[in-house]
């Protein structure tokens, strides 16, 4: 499926404060479902992916 990559501007403090880089992939349809998210933290990168669901 086709996705849109969104990079919101983050301003936070604490554990997730390193540069505030966040990437969010949304489906390119009317629902705009978040299917993947990626952010950098002090010890590396955290990635989350939607693997299934029902509605």
Binned at pLDDT 50, 70 and 90, residue 38 comes out as: very high
| Cα 21–Cα 46–Cα 3 angle in degrees, nearest 5 | 70
- For 22, the token pair is 């966040």
Binned at pLDDT 50, 70 and 90, residue 3 comes out as: very high
Sequential DSSP letters for 10-27: ----STT-STT-EEEEEE
Distances (CA, A) of 23 to 15, 30, 36, 46: 17, 20, 8, 11
- Mean pLDDT (whole number) for 2-17: 78
């Amino acid at each position: 499926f086709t996705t849109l990559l969104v990079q919101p501007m983050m301003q936070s403090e604490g554990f997730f404060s390193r540069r505030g880089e966040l990437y969010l992939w949304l489906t390119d349809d009317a629902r705009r479902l978040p299917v993947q998210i990626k952010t950098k933290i002090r010890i590396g990168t955290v990635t989350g992916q939607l693997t299934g669901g029902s509605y």
